[in-house]
Amino acid sequence: MKSPATRLSLILLLTPFLLWIVLLVILPHLQMLRVSFQVRESWDTLSWGLEQYANFFSESYYWRTFVRTGVMSLFTTFLTLLIAFPIAWYIARLASGRARGLLFLACLIPFWASELVRTYGWMILLRESGLFSAWLQALGWSDGPVEMLYNDAAVIIGLVYNGLLFMVVPLVTTLDGMEENLVEAGYDLGGGHLTVLREVVVPWAMPGIVSGCIVVFMLTLGSYLTPTLMGGKDSAWFTQQIFTQFITRFNWEQGAALGALLLGLSSLIVWAGLKLTGQSLRKVMG
Amino acid sequence: MATPSDLFCHQLIRRFGNHPAVDGISLDVPAGTFFSILGPSGCGKTTLLRLLAGFDRPDEGDIYIRGERMNRVPPNHRPVNMVFQHLALFPTMSVGDNIAYGLKRQRVPAARRRQRVEQVLEQVGLPGLSGRMPSELSGGQRQRVALARCLVLEPTLLLLDEPLGALDLKLREQMKVELKHLQKQFGTTFVYITHDQSEAMVMSDQVAVMKDGRFDQVAAPEELYREPATAFVAGFVGDNNRLRGQVVSVSGDRAQLRLTGGAIVEGRLAAPLEPGASADLYVRPESLVLSDGEVAEGLSRCRASVRTTLFDGANSRVETDIGGEPVFARLPQHGSAPSLSAGDSLQLAWEPDRARVFGAATP
Amino acid sequence: MIPSVPRTRLFDALYLAYLVAFFIYLALPLAVTAVFAFNDAPFPSLPWQGFTMDWYLADGTAGRTGLFHDDTLLSALWTSTRIALWVTLVSVALGCINAVLFERLEFPGKELLYLLMLLPLVIPGVILGVSILVFYSGMANDLSRQWGIELDVFRPGLTLVIMGQVTFITTLTTLVIAARLRKFDRQLEEAALNLGATPLVAWFTVTLPWLAPSLFGAAAMAFLMSFENFNTTVMLTGSDTPLTVALFNRLREGSTPVLNAVALFLMVVSALLALLSVRRNR
C-alpha cells in the first residue's frame, strides 16, 4: 500500500530517532540496571548478586535519605502548586492585555539565570553574614547574626523557587484555554467560590496541574545543587549519595543500584500521580 | 476528435476500503467551459477533484487533459492548478511571492516574474498589492490572490474547491459574479466543486450533480432546473415540493396521480412508469398558483391548509399542509396575494407540464 | 474570582499583596546577586563599601582577579559555549526530524515510540548522567582492559557531556517544533506541489519557513538549557570543566564577588538571548 517514497522517508526519519533513543536512553539505562546487580570481588572479577540492594536496606542512612528525599520532593511539589496557582490564575484570567504579558515575562525572568546562580542568590540572602541577618540586626529584632541557611526550610525555599516557572507556565496555558462562561455558569447555578474552584476550575486545569507537578517533582527529586549548597548536615539528598558513590568512591556498582532505586521511585510516583488523576503521559506532556 | 477537450475522464473509480468514493465517473469538459460539480458533502466531489489535481490516484479509469493521459503524472507536473478550499496562501510569503511561486518553479527570470505578477494582480483588480502579506488582506482580496496565483501560470485547467465557502453572504454573492467574469476574461477552463446549488447555477455553463460517487445528471443550469433527470436532482437543485401518490393512468409523457390525500393531479413523467406504481410529484413553489375559486381549465389542483407565512421580500412563501406534508408556495409581492392566516383553507393549482413525476424511491 | 464575579475589597487587597510578595520573592535573589557584583569588598555581603568594577576588570596585581582576567573561569565559559553550541545543533536537528516523524508519518508502534520520546522528561537529570557514564565510560574501561583499545571519546569529557545533555534537550526541542508543525495546514504543501514544486522544494520553501520561529525558539531554549545544566553535566565532565561546574567548585571554596560578576554576566547574556528569540517569534 505504501509507496517506496513514503517508506524511504520513514526510514530516513526513524533512524536518527532510534539512534537517539536507543543509544542515549535505553541502552545506558539497561546497562545501569545490569551493573547494579554486579558484585565486584576483586579489581577484575565480577559476579552477580543483590549485594548493592542489600546494602541499601541494611544501611539505614541510605533508605532514610531515600524516603526523606521522596517525601520532601512531594511536599515541595505541592507547595509549588499552591504558590503558583493564584499567580497563574491572575495572569490567565484577571490581568489584561499588556499587564498580562509583562507579568508572564516577569515569571520567566529568574530562569534566565541558571540554577547555580539562583541558589547563590539565596545563599547571599540567607546565610549568617547575609542580608536578612543584617537587616534583622539593623531593625533591632536580633542581637547577633542569624543563620538561616543550612536547614530544611532553606532547601525547600530554594527548591520551590527553582520549580515555580515549570508550574506557572503549564497552569497559565490550561487556564487560558478555559471559557469564562464555565466559571460564570458555576456561580449562576448556585456554586460558591470553593465549590466552583473544586468542581469547575480544578478539573479543567488538571492536565496543566499534572504536567507542572511532574516536571517540578522530577526537577526536585533529581536536584543536586540546591540541597548540597543550601542544606545542612542533616538534610542529605539522595542524589548526593549517588554522586558520592560515582565520583568520590568510584563504587559504580553501588552507585548504579542507588540510581536504579531513584529511577524506580520517580517512575512509581509519576505513574501513581497519572493514575490517580486519570491523565496520560501523552496528554499532559505531549 | 478534432481538438481534444480540456478534460476527459473515463470510468474513474476510487475506493477507500470497500467504499467507492468515486464510482465510475465519466466526464468531458470542452475548452473554455465553466464546469461545476454540485453535490452534498460526502458525495465524493472532493475526492474527484484530488484525482484531477493528482494528489490521489484512481483505482480504475483514465484522466486525459488535452488528450494526454494523466494517471501517472505527479501533481507538480500537471497543467492543472487549484484554488483550495481555505485558499492555502503561503502565510510566510508576500502576495507577490505567493503569485511568483509557480513562475519561480518554472524558472521564469526575475524581471519577467515581477512583470507577470503586476499584470495578473491588475487583471484580478488588486494592482500594487504585491508587497502585502496575506494576513493583511480582506477575505475577498485573499480570494483574488489565490486565483491570481493559479491564473498567472496559464493552466489548461483550473480546479476550485468551494473557495467561496468561508466568505460572508454579501461578499459571496459579489464573488460569484466576479468569478464568472474572470473566467470569461481569461478563457481558462474552470472545474468548480460546491455544495451550494446557487453558486453552481449562477456561474456555470455546465453542472454535474453528484451523489454517492456518481453523476446523476450533467446539464446546463436551466435544464437542470426545469428538467431534472432524477428525484435527487429535483430535490437538490432549487426549492421543490414533493407530493406522494400512486400512478392512476399514463398518457404519453403525462401521468395522473392519486395523492395520499385523495386528490387526482397531473404531472410530466421523467421516466416511464406503470399505473399502480408509487410515485413522487415535484412541483416548484413558483409554479404553484394560489386561488380561492375557479382556476383555468387543464390545471391540476389540490386543497391545502395554511400553516404559516414566511416573509422574505421577493422570496416570500406560504407554508401549507397537504396530507400532513409541508408544501411551500411563492407569495407574489405585487399586492395580489390574499391575506392568509394559519388554518385557512386554500386551493393550490399548477400547470401539469411544470410538475415532474418520478418513481418513488423504494424505502 | 473572575472579573464578572463580584469580589470583596479585602479579597482584592490580599490578592494584590500576595502578587507583590510573589514577585519580590522572584526578583530578590537575582537582584542582590547583581548588586553585589559591584560591591568594593572581598565578600558579597553587607555593608556596602562603594562601587567598583574590580570584579570584572582587576588583573590580579592588587590581590583581586576580575572575571575578564580569570583564566579558569574564562576557559570554563568557553567550554560551556562549545558544549551549548553542539547541543543546540544536534538537539534542534533531531527535534526537527522527530517532529516530522511523529506529526506526519503513520507507522506501526508510533504510540509506543512517542512515549519513549517523552521518557527523558521523567528521568531525573542525575540518572541520565549516571547511566551514560556507566554505559560509555564502562565500555571504554572494558575495551582498554581486555583489548588495550583506548576509546578516549567515551571517557568523561566534552563528548559525554554533549551526549548527556542531548538526551533530554532533544525531547524539549521535539515538543516545541512538533507543536508548531501541528498547526501547519497541509494544504499549503499541496498548493506548492500544485504550483509545480517538487516535494523537496515544497518542504524547503513552504514548510521550513513556517517552522522557522519554532526552530529559533527551540535553539535558544536548547542553548540556555545546556549552558545552565548542572545535574547531568556534573556526572560526565572531565578535565575541561564547564562554567556551572567550575562555579560550583569555586563556591564550595567560599564565595567572592567574582561569582556575582559571572552570575550577572550570565543573566545579561541569557536575557539577551531570550529577548532575541521572543523578538524572532513576533
Domain that holds residue A232: 50-285
Least trusted range by pLDDT, from A160-169, C7-16, C125-134: C7-16
Instruction: Report how far residue C176's alpha carbon sits from residue C92's, in angstroms, rounded to the nearest whole number.
Output: 10
Please answer yes or no on whether A270 and C251 come within 8 Å at the CB atom: no
Q: Which of B58, B83, B280 is nearest to B192 (CA)?
A: B83
Considering CB atoms only, which of A90, A114, A222 is closest to C127?
Answer: A222
Please answer yes or no on whether B76 and C209 come within 8 Å at the CB atom: no
**B39-77 per-position pLDDT tens digit:** 988 888 889 999 998 888 899 999 998 888 988 888 888
Amino acid at B77: H
Phi, psi (degrees; rounded to nearest 5) at C146: -90, -35
3-state class of B9 per DSSP? strand
Cell numbers found for residue C55: 570584579
Nearest Cα residue in chain A from C273: A112
Strand order in the sheet with B68-69: B19-29, B7-16, B60-65, B68-69
Amino acid at C270: S
Mean pLDDT of C166-185: 91
A211 within domain boundaries = yes
CATH architecture observed for domain C72-281 = Orthogonal Bundle (1.10)
Instruction: Return the CATH number at A281.
Output: 1.10.3720.10
Going by DSSP bridges, is the β-strand pair B80-83/B157-161 parallel, antiparallel, or unpaired?
parallel
Please answer yes or no on whether C188 and B88 come within 8 Å at the CB atom: yes
A27 within domain boundaries = no
A28 interfaces chain C, CB cutoff of 8 Å: yes
Instruction: Report how far residue B343's alpha carbon sits from residue C38's, in angstroms, rounded to the nearest whole number.
Output: 93
pLDDT at site A236: 83
pLDDT at site C93: 94
Nearest Cα residue in chain A from C99: A13
Mutation target vs B (from C180, C190, C193, C195; most B CBs, 10 A cutoff): C195
- Residue B95's alpha-carbon distances to B83, B123, B125, B145, C189, in angstroms, are 15, 15, 13, 7, 17
> Is the pLDDT confidence value at B37 over 90?
yes
Mean per-residue pLDDT of chain B: 87
Please answer yes or no on whether B76 and C196 come within 8 Å at the CB atom: yes
CA C130 to chain CA mean position, Å: 19
> Is the pLDDT confidence value at C189 over 80?
yes
What value does the CA radius of gyration of chain C take, rounded to a whole number of Å? 24
pLDDT at site B334: 66
pLDDT at site B101: 92
A207 within domain boundaries = yes
pLDDT at site B363: 47
Count of domains for chain A: 1
Going by DSSP bridges, is the β-strand pair B206-211/B34-38 parallel, antiparallel, or unpaired?
parallel
Structural domains present in chain B: 5-231 (3.40.50.300), 239-359 (2.40.50.140)
A181 within domain boundaries = yes
Chain C residues lying within 8 Å of B53, measured CB to CB? 190, 194
Please answer yes or no on whether C197 and B101 come within 8 Å at the CB atom: yes
- CA terminus-to-terminus distance, chain B: 44
Please answer yes or no on whether C196 and B105 come within 8 Å at the CB atom: yes
Nearest Cα residue in chain A from C95: A17
Cell numbers found for residue B2: 478534432
Q: Which residue has the cell 519577467?
A: B112
Distance from CA of B92 to the nearest CA of C (A): 6
pLDDT at site B338: 62
Considering CB atoms only, which of C187, C198, C210 is closest to B76?
Answer: C198
Q: Which of B12, B7, B41 is nearest to B159 (CA)?
A: B7
Please answer yes or no on whether B101 and C205 come within 8 Å at the CB atom: yes
Query: What residue segments make up the domains of chain C, in order of their start?
Result: 72-281
Considering CB atoms only, which of A121, A123, A183 is closest to C30?
Answer: A121
C42 interfaces chain A, CB cutoff of 8 Å: no
**C82-99 per-position pLDDT tens digit:** 999 999 999 999 999 999
A78 within domain boundaries = yes
pLDDT, one tens digit for every residue, chain A (286 residues): 457 777 888 888 899 999 999 999 999 999 988 888 888 777 667 778 787 888 888 888 888 888 989 999 999 999 999 999 988 888 888 877 788 888 888 887 777 777 888 888 888 888 877 777 777 777 877 777 777 778 888 889 889 998 888 898 888 888 887 777 777 777 777 677 777 777 778 888 888 899 899 889 988 988 888 888 888 777 788 888 888 888 888 888 888 888 889 999 988 988 888 888 888 877 777 6
Task: Respond yes or no on whether ipTM tops 0.95.
Answer: no
pLDDT at site B317: 86
Nearest Cα residue in chain C from A180: C2
User: Residue C172, class by beta-carbon neighbours within 10 Å (0-12 exposed, 13-18 middle, 19+ buried)?
Assistant: middle
Going by DSSP bridges, is the β-strand pair B214-219/B289-291 parallel, antiparallel, or unpaired?
unpaired
Least trusted range by pLDDT, from B186-190, B318-322, C58-62: C58-62
> Is the pLDDT confidence value at B1 over 60?
no
Considering CB atoms only, which of C1, C36, C244 is closest to A124?
Answer: C36
C113 interfaces chain B, CB cutoff of 8 Å: no
Q: Which of B215, B213, B193 is nearest to B21 (CA)?
A: B213
A106 interfaces chain C, CB cutoff of 8 Å: yes
Nearest Cα residue in chain C from A125: C29
